Amino acid sequence: MKKNEAKIEVILTVCHSEVYQVPVMYFYVCYLDGAPVSQISKALSFLRTHPEFANAHAKAEAEKTLVSPMITHAEHPVRRTPCFMLHPCQTPLWLAQVLEAEDAANREKIVLLAWLAKVCPAVGLKVQPTDFLRTKTLLLEQDNP
């Protein structure tokens, strides 16, 4: 099988950005033999042709819930290896808009959950709305037994 027809693996990591003060998604794209996909265009091409990613991306775009991610090369903050990242430059703005409706005391508790709700569709991750709501309820109940 040629490399351009090979299957790939995508390894996702979420870390907190000290600079932007928001979560950031880093991802490593490689062939199943472990060889990295180093060009952004190739990585995006693989992701866009992957059925789950393509379907989720199209649905999010149609529902106007898509985060328009700027994908860039970066050094993984923990592994110190080359990878891609969804650049967080616009994240503080839209995250503030998403959290605006929440009670101020609850914002800190659910910031990661709110971020995941916006970013997951952009990268083709499927999480059921009921799972988000159940998790939010659990997070908010932690201090209120």
pTM of the predicted structure, to 2 decimals: 0.68
Q: List the domain boundaries for the chain.
A: 3-141
* Rounded Cα–Cα distance for residues 98 and 94 (Å): 6
- Res 58: pLDDT: 58
- Res 86: pLDDT: 82
**pLDDT by position in tens, the chain (length 145):** 455 556 778 888 999 988 888 999 898 888 888 888 777 666 666 566 555 555 555 555 555 544 445 778 889 999 998 888 888 888 888 888 888 888 887 888 888 888 888 787 766 677 777 887 888 888 888 766 5
Q: What is the CATH number of domain 3-141?
A: 3.30.1460
Task: Please report the sign of the dihedral spanned by the C-alpha atoms of residue 34, residue 12, residue 138, residue 61.
Answer: negative
Closest CA to 119 of 77, 96, 91: 91
